[in-house]
Chains A and B, each alone.
Chain A
Amino acid sequence: MNPRTRPFYWSLRRELWENRFIYLAPLVVAAVLLIGFAVNVIHSANQTGTPLALHLPNDPTPIEQPWAIAAVLLAFTGLFAGAFYCLDALYGERRDRSILFWKSLPVSDLTTVLSKASIALVVLPLVTFAIIVATHVAMLALHTAVLLVSGAGLATLRNRTPLVELWIALLYGLAALTLWHAPICGWLLLVSAWARRAVFLWASLPLIAICILEKIAFNTSRFAFFLGYRCAGGFALAFGAGRPCCIPHPLTSLTPGSFLSTPGLWIGLLVAAIFLAAAAPVRRYRGPI
């Protein structure tokens, strides 16, 4: 391996050793989903003779729904895991004093900050994607088994479960959301490097204070809208107004063109870069707490 990338590679390994919840949390959620799905499928097959009670005559999307629900729940788990990871990433090592050990080795502060950002912005979305795909495959196997045992045909399943298209839409969606949320990740890492205690409060209270101040002073809520747009607006930008997971052809709802041409995306990435660049010198000044 290139000697310049070795410290970065081993910093990533360190993060994965230290923060196993990055993959354990989605795995636990996936396990719960699979158990629920199995009970549902078997129960429906027993009651009606045909699999899935969701299969109502006037509902056009009976079979796809569980797949979409699984994907959305796991994606949310990934988002939460990422937020908690970022809040603790540069704070935990100061609290347990291990920063003195990490700083005794030839790894720069910037390498450390970038490795932690990469966990949140690259590794975690990929892990989430892999676990969603694995969950879908397990659900498909389960569903197929139940259909075979109950004697119903597999045709419905095959026709109405556009999994590959769903996965492409999912990969695109995860990438878009990650890019959109990058400045939030940068902000959390910066506060995590700076705060001496109560990282979550330092990360959130100043923003809330600005909202309240604006409301009282000018009776407007622009900053609150801005925050809401940044936290929840990425999905609508990436997919237009469509419901990508719930229609037979998910790919038609992708709007990468309009997403990539949103100035907010690029401004957000610039802000993320500034936050990360600031977190490195902050880590340099901060010692154990």
Chain B
Amino acid sequence: MASIEARGLRKTYGGTVALDGVNLRLEQGRILGLIGPNGAGKTTAINAILGLVPYEGELRVLERDPWVERDRLMRDVAFIADVAVLPRWFRVSQALDYVAGVHPRFDRAKAENFLAKTAVRRTSKVRELSKGMVAQLHLALVMAIDAPLLVLDEPTLGLDIAYRKKFYDSLLGDYLDRSRTIVLTTHHVEEIQHVITDLAFINAGRIVLSCTMEEFDSRYRELTVNPGHLPAARELKPIHERQIFGRDILLFDAVDPALLAAHGEVRTPGIADLFVAVMDQGAGK
């Protein structure tokens, strides 16, 4: 069953096209990394999925139309929007009471456990917390909701690297074993490479690349070319070239690794490297 299914999803703001016919299908139990530059349409796509903006085209989230049935859908979806949105007057204890009050799937003990690992005190108000602590509080609230679909738009913004690492570990450890679907966006793409199961690049309102991580691992190879082998390596049609410390690094799509190995050192590329390659191709380079 598809948790999210979008066909020809369009959204314009005045004359600006934010989504230009997005097609996306995410099966239940998958973790999708939605990657794109600023202004590519990530947040608009996520807002459409969450029923926050109206749209054209077809969109079903957990078999529902998010724009028409937002409040019903929110019983099965937990999400964090891209910026700190917890009201500043909220006391931590009030936030726990409120979410426990309105959300039938909220596990208060679990949220308390998350918070116990942080410096966030029950009696603090949001305005007294640091940026990172607000993010921790919001994560604690959202992660304690046992929702079939979890949407995290830049969830780790403002968190230090140690906490980000712990967060993704707990995200994996805690949720992969259930039939849960997760949509994730972040600018720290390298941190989610081993978390996600599916990858989608979005640029200028379109999905420019979409694959599973199994496909990613089997299709893409990065070759650090041995000196003198560059012309031969180029014969194999790399999709992107770059230079680091005077060495040529070529990216290949669906080329036999055995052929590549003759010309240098072969590795699986990082998502970020493929992202840059795809964006450069799109720019006509």
Residues of A participating in the B interface, judged by any CB pair closer than 8 Å: 3, 6-7, 9-11, 13-14, 17-18, 93, 96-101, 103-109, 111, 284-285, 287-288
Contact = CB atoms under 8 A, between A and B. Distances in A.
Nearest to A98: B87
Given A13-B101, A17-B94, A107 B71 contact: yes
B88 A96 contact: yes
B251 interface: no
Given A104-B50, A108-B71, A17 B101 contact: no
Which of B54, B84, B91, B98: most chain A CB closer than 10 A?
B98
Interface in B49-107: 50-54, 70-72, 74-75, 78-81, 83-91, 94, 97-99, 101-104
Interface string B117-132: 0000000000000000
B108 to A, nearest CB: 14
Contacts of A6: 101-102
Nearest to B100: A10
Contacts of A100: 52, 81, 83, 85
11 contacts: A6-B101, A6-B102, A98-B87, A103-B51, A104-B78, A104-B79, A105-B99, A108-B70, A109-B71, A284-B70, A287-B47
A97 B43 CA distance: 15
Given A103-B52, A106-B71, A106-B72, A10 B85 contact: no
Tell me the interface secondary structure of chain A in the complex.
helix
A285 B88 contact: no
A70 B64 CA distance: 55
B89 A18 contact: yes
A8 B176 CA distance: 34
B85 A106 contact: no
B100 to A, nearest CB: 9
Contacts of B50: 103-104
Given A105-B74, A108-B71, A109-B71, A98 B103 contact: no
Contacts of A106: 71-72, 74-75, 102-104
Contacts of B71: 106-109, 111
A287 B87 contact: no
A96 B102 CA distance: 21
Nearest to B83: A97
Contact of B102 (A93, A107, A288): A107
Interface of B: 47, 50-54, 70-72, 74-75, 78-81, 83-91, 94, 97-99, 101-104, 138, 142
Nearest to A11: B102
Contacts of A11: 102
B74 A104 contact: yes
Contact of B101 (A9, A99, A109): A9
B48 to A, nearest CB: 12
A78 to B, nearest CB: 22
B47 to A, nearest CB: 8
Given A17-B94, A107-B71, A101 B104 contact: no
Contacts of A99: 85
Which of B54, B70, B75, B101: most chain A CB closer than 10 A?
B101
A279 to B, nearest CB: 15
A98 B102 contact: no
A99 B47 CA distance: 13
B165 to A, nearest CB: 25
Contacts of A111: 71
Nearest to B91: A17
A30 B206 CA distance: 61
B64 to A, nearest CB: 12
A186 to B, nearest CB: 21
Which of B70, B80, B85: most chain A CB closer than 10 A?
B85
Nearest to A110: B71
9 closest cross-chain pairs (CB), A and B: A10-B101, A108-B71, A98-B87, A106-B74, A100-B81, A100-B85, A106-B75, A101-B85, A7-B102
